Amino acid sequence: MTRRCLIALLGAAIAVVSLLAAPVAGQTRTPAAPLRTPWGDPDLQGIWNFATSTPLERPAEVGEKAVLSAAEAEEFEEKLAFDLTRDRRDGGNEADVRRAYNEHWMDPRRLQLLSDKRTSLIVDPPDGRVPPRVPLTPARKQAAQEAAARAARFNAGLPLSAQDFTPPVRGIIRTDRPPYLGTIYNNTAQIFQSPGYVVILQEMIHSARVIPVDGRPHIGKNLRQWLGDTRGRWEGGTLVIETTNFRRDEGAVYGNADPDTFTIVERFTRVAPDTLSYEFTISDPNTWTRPWTAMVPWARISEQLYEYSTHEDNYDLVHLLVGARVREARGETVPEPSGRPGGGDDR
């Protein structure tokens, strides 16, 4: 199949998907009468999907354009779809088979650009890009270099031990750790509420994020968790949640930020019966030069959430370790770190 033919097919698929589901994006207004629970809180209960092909950061090739025209959106979608798909037939048989494995799992909603045609999920800063990083302290620089070395060993098929794998591959955390950003699959969450609580259950890694919305203080600052510690409050129809207390383990906090200064504020607003607006603002003066904000609409779906388990049957972790010992015996060595992430971060 030629590339042009493939793009045409993908374009057709996108058109069909867009017709079937066109979530309203970009709305931040609260409806006049938001749905309420019997105890009077805004009602966010439901099963939601947040997959999209719109990238977190604005791609360089669209320049400063924040919103695309219809024609540009079509072209943009096609290119993104092509970049995302593994069915490219341009790398020989071995590459084809390797890509097909991931293609099998891909959520087709990942091929859908947001209907507001934004070029990035980031809405602030206005350039749609993550702000520049501040220089790391020597200790954090060393930790980052060690993490890069672990990722390089993983990517070369030469992990030293289970601790060379990332938290998602070890089955500790994945999309359950905020911010909620889509990956190639399982971009589904269920929201539960009870008086004084909102609970977000992300499909991946199966941990529920229990959020008190009763005004209580955070847990002690020395009590750190993989998902941090979250407190919520209602501002009109919007749930505002703030999370601190992330663990210091490698990969525990988003973006290799400094867990001692990192905070994330997330806002959920049910802008329509079938649409949640999800907005998050990240700040960490020890990591980024300024706070930054992204917005992703969540679409209500009729499908169910199913149990996701990794650790319990993590056959591949053993295969990779056993394979690494064979590769070592053959004299294979690890190349210089390339910056490629170490697994489980597949967008």
Partner 1 sequence: MRKRLKGAVIVGAGATAILLWVAVTPGAVQAQAGGQVPTPGAWPRVTVPRMADGRPNLNGIWQALVSANYNLEDHEAQAGPYTELIGAYSGEPAGQSIVEGGVIPYRPEALAKRRQNFDNRTKVDVSRDETWHDLGDPELKCYMPGVPRATYMGFPFQIVQGSSDFMLLTYEFASASRVIRMNWKEESPGDFWMGWSRGRWEGDTLVVDVTGQRKETWFDRSGNYHSEALRVVERYTLVSPYHLMYEATIEDPNVYSRPWKIAFPLYRRMEKNVQLLEFKCQPYAEDLLYGRFRKP
Site residues for partner 1 per CB under 8 A: 37-39, 43, 45-46, 160-163, 170-173, 190, 192-195, 197, 199, 201, 205-208, 210, 212, 216-217, 219, 223, 225-227, 304-307, 309, 311-313, 315, 317-318, 321-322, 324-325, 328
Compute the least distance from the CB of residue 320 to partner 1, in Å. Answer: 9
C-alpha torsion sign, points 217, 251, 81, 66: positive
Are residues 196 and 215 in contact, defined by beta-carbon separation less than 8 angstroms? Answer: no
**Selection from 311, 104, 301 nearest residue 206 by Cα:** 311
Q: Which two tokens stand for residue 73?
A: 């959106």
Name which of 92 and 217 has its Cβ closer to partner 1.
217
Name which of 27 and 45 has its Cβ closer to partner 1.
45
| β-bridge mates for residue 296, sequence order | 278
- CA–CA separation, 262 and 242 (whole Å): 11
Name which of 172 and 241 has its Cβ closer to partner 1.
172
Strands 197-202 and 229-235: unpaired
Name which of 235 and 316 has its Cβ closer to partner 1.
316
**Selection from 77, 239, 118, 109 nearest residue 187 by Cα:** 109
Compute the least distance from the CB of residue 212 to partner 1, in Å. Answer: 7
Name which of 145 and 194 has its Cβ closer to partner 1.
194
Compute the least distance from the CB of residue 285 to partner 1, in Å. Answer: 27
Compute the least distance from the CB of residue 260 to partner 1, in Å. Answer: 18
CB neighbour list of residue 171: distance below 8 Å, 6 or more residues apart: 205, 309, 310, 311, 312, 314
Name which of 38 and 135 has its Cβ closer to partner 1.
38
**Helical (H) or strand (E) element with 48:** strand 46-49
Instruction: Outline where the chain has alpha helix (H).
Output: 3-20, 70-84, 92-105, 138-155, 167-170, 315-329
Name which of 171 and 179 has its Cβ closer to partner 1.
171
Give exposure, 95-112, as e/b (b: 16+ Cβ within 10 Å): eeeebeeeeeebbebbbb
Name which of 68 and 211 has its Cβ closer to partner 1.
211
Compute the least distance from the CB of residue 208 to partner 1, in Å. Answer: 4
Compute the least distance from the CB of residue 3 to partner 1, in Å. Answer: 37
Amino acid at 102: N
Report the alpha-carbon angle 178-180-182, nearest 5. Answer: 145
Name which of 93 and 304 has its Cβ closer to partner 1.
304
Compute the least distance from the CB of residue 100 to partner 1, in Å. Answer: 21
Compute the least distance from the CB of residue 137 to partner 1, in Å. Answer: 25
**Selection from 89, 37, 300, 94 nearest residue 190 by Cα:** 300
Compute the least distance from the CB of residue 214 to partner 1, in Å. Answer: 9
